[in-house]
Amino acid sequence: MMSQKEMKKYHEKTIAELSTMLQAGEVTSVELTQYFLNRIKAHDGRLNSFITVTEELALAAAKDADAAIKNGTAGPLTGVPIAHKDIFCTQGVRTSCGSKMLDNFISPYDATVVTKMKQAGVVMLGKTNMDEFAMGSSNETSFYGAVKNPWNTDTVPGGSSGGSAAAVAARLAPAATGTDTGGSIRQPASMCGITGIKPTYGRVSRYGMIAFASSLDQAGPMGQSAHDCALLLNAMAGFDEKDSTCLDMEVPDYTAELDKPLKGLRIGLPKEYFGEGLNVDVEKVIRAALDEYKKLGAELVDIELPNSGLSVPVYYVVAPAECSANLSRFDGVRYGYRCENPVDLMDLYTRSRGEGFGAEVKRRIMVGTYALSSGYYDAYYLKSQQLRHKISDDFKNAFEKVDVIMGPTAPDTAFNIGEKSDDPISMYLSDIYTIAVNLAGLPGMSVPAGFVNGKPVGLQIAGNYFKESQLLNVAHQYQLHTDWHRAIPEAFV
């Protein structure tokens, strides 16, 4: 066994490294799980990245994992502790979606992602904080308070998967699950200096993942490295008959092509991603990352995505419209928050929803209901869906010339908590480079590429449909030649 001094290094290890140690008997899952539970106790008071910590369940699962390792039935993820975003239903555990509306909701079943992770032998440390019902870009709309960025606790971690991103960045968990509706895996991954991937729409089951915008939501892994994300995606992806939008396709081994050389790779650079609105220092970091890819044998190709400027207005009609429909089920009758002493049915509905939802959720429900209302449906929702096809066609045309598309994940680094709370438009624009990928249903990821004034910067890599293996390969090769993904905030070393 390792000495106490060496044990303190577990949080510096990737999932791939921890898996090797577990299989070799250098550490047990119980020891590893307790180690990370101790880090959560010691550090999360400064971050607020967890809503629920499931210590007893975690240690019981770790004990089972150790038994599987001992009897030779373990897989590559057996015994590895991770955290789940609190949007995934977890049987017998509170699933709040960051909202007062579901503060008292104990899920009677597991989401498919949670089930698949359990089958892979993963240990759940707890449930991470998030923007309420995944609506936000800063993790400030949570009923449980804002999450703080471990690189600078005065700043936001990004959203809506900010709790997962902050927990991984501070090494309170080796990895975590997230969801991405308009950039909610990639944007917080960028602001917290970790790696995150949003798979092709339909590649990962949405069953048991509380819906925000059903045609956009997609689950994905968040970890230190592309290798870690590949291991996690191997477990998460696959057909699920419980989800009608889940695609019945064979799941490749996402680790199989990680070591493929990049010589001849054609990287598209959209001119729209390098213009007005992009922080000049962020652009320098991205350009330096692109230079690294040139050294690895890749070719940089200038491209255009002419309709990308329409992504934000299109998204903020489509997503609220779908959220308006999805959140109509929270009425105070069947589950979730219920107002006290309602005088009649209308009072029950009105006060339960009015008291249970936060301001941003109410704003989006109102916008969506308006867009779907009689007389406005054709002018707003239908027109947005037509423009959505044009945005998708731009990507289709681009991928006839290039293999992947790169650019900044976000136009700036993490902003201060409260800085944009009263300016929804400015907040929405922080997702300007990520939203188009969701509207088109494409895979995309963010990898750490450097720092500006001590704050992380993420490089976004987008690919064609079902090209997750290629994205992970492209990211992995970059990470073999850089160490940005290894950086840990000084306060959490």
250 in any annotated domain: yes
CATH of the domain at 475: 3.90.1300.10
389 in any annotated domain: no
Are residue 206 and residue 90 in the same domain, yes or no?
yes
Are residue 347 and residue 483 in the same domain, yes or no?
no
pLDDT at 8: 61
H or E stretch at 126: strand 123-128
304 in any annotated domain: no
Whether the CB-CB separation of 132 and 147 falls below 8 Å is answered with no
**Using one digit for the tens of pLDDT, what is the confidence trace for 180-238?**
999 999 999 999 999 999 999 999 999 999 999 999 999 999 999 999 999 999 999 99
Can you give the pTM of this predicted structure? 0.96
**Using one digit for the tens of pLDDT, what is the confidence trace for 59-89?**
999 999 999 999 999 999 999 999 999 999 9
pLDDT at 5: 44
- Residue where one domain finishes, among candidates 383, 405, 435: 383
- Residue of 160, 205, 430, 469 marked active site: 160
Are residue 117 and residue 202 in the same domain, yes or no?
yes
278 in any annotated domain: no
Q: What is the CA radius of gyration of the chain?
A: 21
295 in any annotated domain: no
178 in any annotated domain: yes
pLDDT at 424: 86
Are residue 58 and residue 194 in the same domain, yes or no?
yes
- Our answer to whether residue 184 is catalytic in this structure is yes
Q: Print the domain residue range for 167.
A: 4-261+445-492
- Our answer to whether residue 85 is catalytic in this structure is yes
Are residue 323 and residue 462 in the same domain, yes or no?
no
Angle CA(61)–CA(211)–CA(413) in degrees, nearest 5? 85
- Residue of 85, 116, 127, 467 marked active site: 85
Are residue 319 and residue 170 in the same domain, yes or no?
no
- Residue where one domain finishes, among candidates 330, 355, 383: 383
Are residue 247 and residue 321 in the same domain, yes or no?
no
**Using one digit for the tens of pLDDT, what is the confidence trace for 424-458?**
888 988 899 999 999 999 999 999 999 999 999 99
Sheet containing 299-303: which strands, arranged edge to edge?
50-53, 123-128, 81-85, 175-180, 218-223, 195-198, 444-452, 455-463, 404-408, 266-270, 299-303
- Our answer to whether residue 198 is catalytic in this structure is no
Domain count, the chain: 2
Are residue 103 and residue 221 in the same domain, yes or no?
yes
226 in any annotated domain: yes
Are residue 320 and residue 241 in the same domain, yes or no?
no
Spatial distance between the Cα atoms of 211 and 216, rounded to a whole number of angstroms: 10
- Residue of 19, 29, 107, 184 marked active site: 184
Are residue 323 and residue 456 in the same domain, yes or no?
no
Give every residue of the chain whose pLDDT is below 70, as ranges. 1-8
Are residue 466 and residue 336 in the same domain, yes or no?
no
Are residue 92 and residue 228 in the same domain, yes or no?
yes
H or E stretch at 113: helix 112-119
Helix (H, G, I), strand (E, B) or coil at 301: strand
